[in-house]
Amino acid sequence: HKILGSTPTLALLDAIDDEYSGSRRSGLLTQNFEYKNVPFWVEHIAPQELRKWASDLRTWNVKPEDVQSRKHVLSNLSVLPREINEKSHYKKYSEKRQIALDSVDSMGTKLQDWTANDQWTPLMIDERTTEMIDKLIKRWPDPSS
């Protein structure tokens, strides 16, 4: 499978966020958006390196390989302002969640829905995948259907 770069991934997350909001706003990206000045960075919710999550995974009774196999799926990604992303990078889930919660109100994006959970399990990632795919299909329906 191919991993998208941050720019196309951010565009997909922006489209999903637009669908969550009912397209009542312009989304994460403004019309005058320049990618070199990106206000948000794509962040893995479950990090690419799970070392600091080992105790969380044991507590949640989750196998590391089950999270690892989902690390690059769209639903394991979120967007965070650059400074928040830098603070939360590779933190334990509870720490990452709290950092995001402290900034979520000012961000106003449904993409931070993961912060409502006190854990981040493969089942939650899979459920979010289904929801996000539904949003993308609504945004770009198959004209042949």
Distances (CA, A) of 100 to 10, 114, 122: 18, 10, 20
Output the CA torsion sign for 14, 15, 20, 23. Answer: positive
Mean pLDDT for 14-38 is: 63
pLDDT at residue number 33: 47
pLDDT at residue number 2: 57
Q: What is the pTM (predicted TM-score) of this model?
A: 0.82
Give pLDDT tens digits for 74-122.
Answer: 999 988 887 888 888 889 999 999 998 887 555 657 788 899 999 999 9
